[in-house]
Structure formats: C-alpha cells, structure tokens
Amino acid sequence: MKTVIKKTGIILFTVIITLGFTNCKPVQNANNKQKGAVIGAAGGAILGAILGNNIGKGGNGELGAVIGGVIGGGAGVLIGNKMDKQAQKIEQEIPGAQVERVDDGIVLTFDESSGVYFDTNKFNINAASQATLNKLIGVFKEYPDTNLLVVGHTDSQGADDYNLTLSKNRAYAVTNYLTANGINSGRLTTNWFGETQPLHDNNTAEGRAKNRRVNIAILPNEKMIQEAKQQAGN
C-alpha cells in the first residue's frame, strides 16, 4: 500500500540527519561520492538516507528516507503528480513491493516476501528477483528524469563486518543488474548499512527475513525540477 508522507521542520531535521550520518560507521566506510549521495544535495533535493528505527513516523524509519529539499508551489505539485504516477505504475507492475511516497520521492522496499531477495549468505540476483527487477527497469525507463539510490541491509546474524560487506555486495548486485539492463549509471548511487538499520525484530525468523532487504529511493533529477519550475512560472 502506498503511503504519502510530508515532513515539517525540514531544515532543522536535515541538519540533524547530516550530523548523525557523518558519524555512522557505514558512511565512514563509504567513499566521498557515496557520502555525498547519502547526506548531500542531488537533483536539487537532500537525499538523507534509508534510515532505521530511530527516525521516522511511528518508529518506521523507511518513511523518513528522503529528507528535505521539498519543492514548493506549483513546481512541487507538478513533480508530485509525476512521482504519484510512477509510484502507481510500480504498484501495478510489482504488487508485492512496498511503495511509499516520501516528500518529492518514492521509497521501495524489497524483502524476502516482496520480489527482490537473496538466498542466505548469497548476493547473486536469482531468477525470481530478475523477473521483478525487469519490471522495475521498464518503469525506470518510462520515467527517465529521476535519480536512484540503492541501499542494502542485512539481519543481525553473523559478524558486523561480514554483514556490512554482504549488504554492500547485495546493493551492488542490484545496481549492476540495473546498469547492465539499460539504466544509465549516472542515475544510480549505491550504499549499504549491514545490520545497523533494522526495521523489524531480529529475535524472530520473520523479523530477520524482513530486515534482509534492499531499498530503492527514487528522486526527481535536476531536469525534472527545472522543467517543473519553468512550467509553473517559478
């Protein structure tokens, strides 16, 4: 089910997120380009990050995935309409995906029950996941004026460093599959958090399965933003 979230106090919240993530171990392990994608401006919007339980409405950090940079006025309405249509198309093509509208963006969550998943300790894209990603690629090609942030997560089983690497490999497996099938690499940024951002209880098998996930955040790029502003007379 699609969820629409609008944030208040966006500037202060963005500063808090930025300070928090510069001290986060996975971000420290990322290179400068990846850091910039997580906490910096891209396509005119602050990406923030795909967060965990400590941020977001009702403790659900995925709803706080795209922080700040909300385009106001008529341009924001035009962008919102385009993103709504893209979210609806994804829901139609991939019924099992969790699709959430967050500010000017979309956050997709894929776990073991929703289309893109990985066998235990594996990071290869299996046949079922390929089928889902192929549908998603079709939507991304239909809506080319967006940037894509791919983020990998794991459950808490195993060593921290191992899980961090596993989440990195899984995120890049998705990114590489997208680029190999026609998505421009310039649209894509990849990040990973290992076991540090659980959304569900790692003490249960069901919770661990949901924490083994890949998220994709979809945001308007600069072209979409500038065209919307011109159309709205901003």
User: Residue 176: its pLDDT value, please?
Assistant: 96
13-22's contacts with Cβ under 8 Å and 24+ in sequence apart are 13/67, 13/68, 14/46, 14/48, 14/67, 14/68, 14/69, 17/48, 17/49, 17/51, 17/55, 17/67, 21/49
User: Residue 69: its pLDDT value, please?
Assistant: 56
User: Residue 20: its pLDDT value, please?
Assistant: 33
How many angstroms separate the CA atoms of 140 and 71, rounded? 21
Strand arrangement, sheet containing 98-102: 3-5, 98-102, 105-110, 214-220, 146-152, 188-192
**Tokens encoding 197:** 């951002």
Residues 182/86/94/100 CA torsion (nearest 10 deg): 120
Cross-strand pairs, 219: 147
User: Residue 63: its pLDDT value, please?
Assistant: 34
pLDDT in tens, the chain (234 residues): 444 444 433 333 333 233 233 333 333 333 333 333 332 333 333 333 344 433 333 333 333 434 445 677 888 889 889 999 999 999 999 988 889 887 788 889 888 777 888 777 888 898 988 999 999 999 999 999 998 988 888 999 999 999 999 999 999 999 999 999 999 999 998 888 899 888 889 999 988 888 888 889 898 888 998 899 888 886
Which residues have a Cβ under 8 Å from the Cβ of 152 and sit 6 or more positions away?
166, 167, 168, 169, 170, 171, 172, 174, 191, 192, 193, 214
Q: Where are the domains of the chain?
A: 71-232
**Exposure string (b/e) for 134-150, b if CB count within 10 Å is 16 or more?**
ebbbebbeebebbbbbb
In CATH, what is the architecture of 71-232?
Answer: 2-Layer Sandwich (3.30)
User: Residue 198: its pLDDT value, please?
Assistant: 85
Cross-strand pairs, 109: 98, 215
pTM of the model: 0.73
Residues 47/43/84/177 CA torsion (nearest 10 deg): -80
Grouping H, G, I as helix, E, B as strand and the rest as coil, residue 42 is: strand
Pair 218, 148: CB distance under 8 Å: yes
